[in-house]
Amino acid sequence: MVHTWPVVDEELVSARRPRDVVDAAGAWIGDALAADGFGWLRAVVEASEPSPIVTSRAGDYSLPFTVMEWLASRDRVDLVCDYAERYLARNPGIEQRFRSGNSAAVGGQPVPPINDLAVVAGWPRAMLTTNPGSAA
């Protein structure tokens, strides 16, 4: 069976937030595959709202870069810096390594390997909150 899809879907074109883009693209693919028994579930229950994760203990038990990326995916880039500050405060002695990752991102370098969480956490903080190539 050959599916013909419109080149541009109006819902995808009007999407402004990352979540809207994913929902529109997923719905588009789900519609195309509906005859084969597939679909797209738009309503996903969140484990938590973005604001509390910044100050909750749950944020302490997650990989810092995943929390920052999750906040950004929920259109709360404004909370990324707050979470980064809390992460640094709860993990004394990592500031230099965190800044190293931050500087790498600002300098246009790829994300470092996951062997040092402090360095890796600094990278998305810069990528999500600054223009790469500008001063941090």
- Predicted confidence (pLDDT) per residue in 53-109, tens digit: 788 777 777 788 888 888 888 888 889 999 999 999 999 999 999 999 999 888 888
135: in domain: no
Same domain, 20 and 82: no
Please name which of 46, 70, 44 lies closest in space to residue 59, comparing C-alpha atoms.
Answer: 70
Q: Does residue 123 share a domain with residue 56?
A: yes
Quick one: 36 and 54 in the same domain? Answer: no
With a cut of 80, say whether residue 133 has pLDDT above it.
Answer: no
Domain-embedded: residue 136:
no
Q: Are 21 and 12 in contact (CB under 8 A)?
A: yes
Does residue 79 sit in the same domain as residue 30? no
- Determine, yes or no, domain membership for 60: yes
DSSP conformation letters of 25-38: HHHHHHHHTGGGT-
Task: Report the predicted TM-score, pTM, of the whole model to 2 decimal places.
Answer: 0.58
Task: Give the H/E segment covering residue 89.
Answer: helix 80-90
Instruction: Verify that 55 and 71 share a domain, yes or no.
Output: yes
Number of folded domains that form the chain: 2
Q: Answer yes or no: is pLDDT of 132 > 60.
A: no
Structure tokens at 60: 């302490």
Mean pLDDT of all residues belonging to the chain? 76
Q: What is the domain extent for residue 13?
A: 1-45
